[in-house]
Structure 1
Amino acid sequence: MTEATPAPGDLVLPRAEIPVAADRAYLDTAYMTPLPTSVAEAMAADARRAGRLGSRGQDDRAAAEEGVRAAAARLLGSHPDDVAFVANTTQGVGLVAAGLDWAPGDRVVVAAGDHPSIVLPFRARADAGVEVVEVATGPGAALDPDAVAAALEAGRVRVVAVSWVRADHGARADLAALATLAHDHGALLCADLIQGLGALPCDLGAWGVDAAAAGAQKWLLGPHGVGVAHLAPDLRERLRVPAPSQHHLEGGSGPLPHGPTARRHESGSANHTGRAGLGAALALLERAGPAAVAGRVTALADALADGLADVGAEVLSARAAGSGSGIVSVRVPGIDAAEAVARLDAAGVVAAARADAVRFSAHAWNDEGDVAAAVAAVAAL
């Protein structure tokens, strides 16, 4: 997929959907999205229907959610049968960490300093003798492919686990290249997608990614407490189901005849209201188009990086094609990141302090005025 760059001033996503945009330059999507009005209304409408219909509305809810699953599959570059609803990224990654048949001495390769959501579920398998091996990151990179290759050559690696986009400085990993590298050594690739999905075109099927997950509350424009996981067919046949649900048992062999799709990993009662919100969010993104969203996000991030550098900030985020993202992290000389974020907030600019830096993250509903406000506020620090 190519990333088309819209003309300056184009609003790919409707700014009117974001109430906070009326009085703040909100540049903190990498922490959480301001809930779009249509998403909030979809959740409220679902709750109202539940009050009005009770159990009589459940069949319609379930049918609608299959449409949400299909929309998620399109955004992921997956297939609906390969998509499971999860509560969050950690739960999705945990399906792999808890589901594989580990043996003492098995190893998992992760990038040094990567987000806990992709690391901790595997560290928790120390009880099964699993070793988590940290590899170096390259300059401005999510991780060093040569270091990954060396770890794989050392043997016993079952999984390479990585964030597609790093939460600290926004470096993007090449998932297709990593999948090939992992598969060549008999390992799986498991990815945390949360800082890229909804902002960058995604094609997990073409890339050969075995497992991936993302919560909805960042670039997907959705609520907390719901997300999606991709589980390739060959992998999910090998995964133990740690919390089986009566809703996803079908005809088959064994004491628990799990259905053949990724739905087998959806445990217990569904978060219907969260899924309704996710459906509305996916509709916003789909109407805009992944390529247009990515082009807008990239253009705004480039403008932020250039403008912040011009006023003396040290830009830590790589902006080369294919390695950057919607995240722009900077250090402001002589000012602690937390203090800088507090002062920016007082000036009407919302950002985050992460990894000793100020992290800005613009989505496709942001505009050039938000970029200008951020640059001016940093210049005034």
Structure 2
Amino acid sequence: MFLIIGIMVVLIGFLNLIIYCLNWFYPIILVSRQSYQILFIRLYFFFLVSISSRLKEVSFLFEGQTELIAREFPQLQEMIWLNSSGTVPLPKSSLEATIKILRWHSDWKGDFQQRTQEGEKIKESAKNEAAKMLACSPDNLAYIANTSHGLNFPLHGIDWERGDNIVTSALEFPANYLPWKYRAKKSGVDLRVAPINSRGQITEEEIIALIDNDTKLVALSLVQFSNGQRVDAPTIAKVAHEHDALLCLDAIQACGGVEVYPEEMAVDFLTAGGPKFLMSPLGIGLCYISSRALAQIEPPLQGWINYDYSDGNYMNKNPAYRKGAGRFEHGSVSLYLIAGMNSSLQLINSVGIKTVAAHNQGLARMMIELFEDQGYTVITPLPPNKRGASINVRVGEAMDLAKIVEILDTQHNIKISARFGGLRLSTHLYNTEVEIQKAYEIIHSLVQA
């Protein structure tokens, strides 16, 4: 691509020189020469823009990436991990941070009060790091054990009445469908499901058409697990709020891998477990709860942590709720896991979520183009604002997807998944263009064999 552009730029310059020389000997074509120069200027501008655009598309490496991979992911030196939508290898610093707190709990050496205070600082730090990544207030964040934990806040916290409805889609992962099915059966609520179209996607138009004045909740995945499609959350939130409904997003396929700004999107609940793009230990996650939702919903899961005992008076039987989303934390959370997540969030923020997102979406675009150029069907949308950090490619109905995944794993040490009738490949900050090219070539050879 660069060679072609370079040759054409040189040719344009050469032609411009010829016209200039002709004008020197034949001034009569002055007007024509001026017209040509205008044309050449336009062509130069076009090709310079093309080069700039192409550079932006292929410059997926970020400063310090090679050193980061070597330092934090030594296990990936002989492995290509394209399964971040499933789980990720834990960064070395996160593992060490987790083990450090486990050792605290084992030996209890040193000042007990000091250890307790340091533990509280770690909890505070993790929320601050998450707030930085999400561009929100830490007061709107609650610790959760997993994505489903956060989904249960609106599931049990909303005051449901017969005749209410919940809007979701047929493309959802079971964790973001079965709870709403349960609520529909339990409370006489209507479950409205936006269909999957012929391209294997859902549309905002279909979702919005289901929202009315009886809608209490719109529950969707920000990025779909099956094909990497990203929904237009701000548009859906606007319509939902016009009908006094809340918007709840399962964001485990998005947070940490692409830009996610819940306040800007006007989301009410945004929940994400740690072991995917947040690169955190299994068993810890975060739930963003908007001020709007905090004012409407009482914490449905009750324990002593919901309440403000900062004065140390544990004999108080009438305490006030803690401020912000912390009131939704009903019991003790694992400091071990929070320490690991804190380290992972610091790692993401050290690179910058905008850089991470551009890197991931650039690699995703590279994968889409590689497969589509060979005639494969990719059911992931191409525009960056319509997808996350994963793609789904259909390699043929006759192909044994499970077998391809197994061969890639056992013979080539390449980790991917089979989902929704295709191969799902997902990237993160530890992946490179070389890995993408290699994985594509091996997959293509397996399909053609």
Report the TM-score range of the alignment, normalised by the length of the smaller protein: over 0.9
Q: Which residue, out of 343, 357, 362, partners 2:427?
A: 362
What aligned pairs does 1:2-151 form with structure 2 within 5 A after superposition? 7-10=59-62, 13=65, 14-16=68-70, 17-53=72-108, 56=113, 57-125=115-183, 126-137=185-196, 143-151=202-210
SS at the partner of 2:384? Answer: coil
Query: Which residue of structure 2 lines up, in the alignment, with residue 234 of structure 1?
Result: 292
Structure 1 counterpart of 2:331, one-letter code: G
Is the contact made by 1:163 and 1:191 (CA closer than 8 Å) also made in structure 2?
A: yes
Cα deviation for residue 321 of structure 1 reads: 3.0
Structure 2 counterpart of 1:150, one-letter code: A
Cα deviation for residue 138 of structure 1 reads: 5.2
Structure 1 counterpart of 2:123, one-letter code: E
Question: What CA deviation, in whole Å up to 9, does each residue of 1:293-347 have, x standing for no partner?
Answer: 0110011111111222334432221111310221111121231221221122122
Query: CA 1:239–1:6 in structure 2 vs 1: closer, same or farther (change >3 Å)?
Result: farther
Task: Note the aligned Cα RMSD (angstroms).
Answer: 2.1
Cα deviation for residue 107 of structure 1 reads: 0.7
Query: CA 1:5–1:287 in structure 2 vs 1: closer, same or farther (change >3 Å)?
Result: farther
In structure 2, distance between residues paired with 1:210 and 1:9:
34
Question: What CA deviation, in whole Å up to 9, does each residue of 1:172-229 have, x standing for no partner?
Answer: 0111111101111221111011111111111111111111100011011111100000
Is the contact made by 1:112 and 1:136 (CA closer than 8 Å) also made in structure 2?
A: yes
In structure 1, distance between residues paired with 2:58 and 2:93:
24
Is the contact made by 1:175 and 1:209 (CA closer than 8 Å) also made in structure 2?
A: yes
Structure 2 counterpart of 1:189, one-letter code: L
In structure 1, distance between residues paired with 2:103 and 2:129:
24
Cα deviation for residue 255 of structure 1 reads: 5.6
SS at the partner of 1:328? Answer: strand
SS at the partner of 2:211? Answer: helix
Query: CA 1:259–1:219 in structure 2 vs 1: closer, same or farther (change >3 Å)?
Result: same
Question: What CA deviation, in whole Å up to 9, does each residue of 1:88-121 have, x standing for no partner?
Answer: 1111011111111111121110011211222222
SS at the partner of 1:103? Answer: coil
What aligned pairs does 1:194-209 form with structure 2 within 5 A after superposition? 194-209=252-267
In structure 1, distance between residues paired with 2:369 and 2:83:
18
Q: Which residue, out of 318, 342, 346, partners 1:279?
A: 342
Query: Which residue of structure 1 lines up, in the alignment, with residue 365 of structure 2?
Result: 302
Query: CA 1:124–1:240 in structure 2 vs 1: closer, same or farther (change >3 Å)?
Result: farther
Q: Is the radius of gyration larger for structure 1 or structure 2?
A: 2
Query: CA 1:336–1:256 in structure 2 vs 1: closer, same or farther (change >3 Å)?
Result: farther
In structure 1, distance between residues paired with 2:117 and 2:305:
13
Is the contact made by 2:367 and 2:440 (CA closer than 8 Å) also made in structure 1?
A: yes
What aligned pairs does 1:110-259 form with structure 2 within 5 A after superposition? 110-125=168-183, 126-137=185-196, 143-153=202-212, 155-250=213-308, 257-259=320-322
In structure 1, distance between residues paired with 2:86 and 2:356:
18
Q: What's the TM-score once normalised by structure 2's chain length?
A: 0.79
Asked if residue 341 in structure 1 is aligned to residue 405 in structure 2, the reply is yes
Is the contact made by 2:247 and 2:267 (CA closer than 8 Å) also made in structure 1?
A: yes
Is the contact made by 1:99 and 1:241 (CA closer than 8 Å) also made in structure 2?
A: yes
Identity across aligned pairs (percent)? 26
Question: What CA deviation, in whole Å up to 9, does each residue of 1:107-155 have, x standing for no partner?
Answer: 11001121122222222223122222101245658532222222113x4
SS at the partner of 1:302? Answer: helix
SS at the partner of 2:131? Answer: helix
Structure 1 counterpart of 2:244, one-letter code: G
In structure 1, distance between residues paired with 2:317 and 2:246:
26
Query: Which residue of structure 2 lines up, in the alignment, with residue 353 of structure 1?
Result: 418
Unaligned runs of 5+ in 2: 1-55, 310-315
Unaligned runs of 5+ in 1: none
Q: What's the TM-score once normalised by structure 1's chain length?
A: 0.93
In structure 1, distance between residues paired with 2:170 and 2:99:
41
Asked if residue 268 in structure 1 is aligned to residue 331 in structure 2, the reply is yes
Query: Which residue of structure 2 lines up, in the alignment, with residue 380 of structure 1?
Result: 445
Cα deviation for residue 280 of structure 1 reads: 0.4
Structure 2 counterpart of 1:212, one-letter code: L
In structure 1, distance between residues paired with 2:90 and 2:361:
21
Structure 2 counterpart of 1:133, one-letter code: R
Structure 2 counterpart of 1:327, one-letter code: S
Structure 2 counterpart of 1:332, one-letter code: V
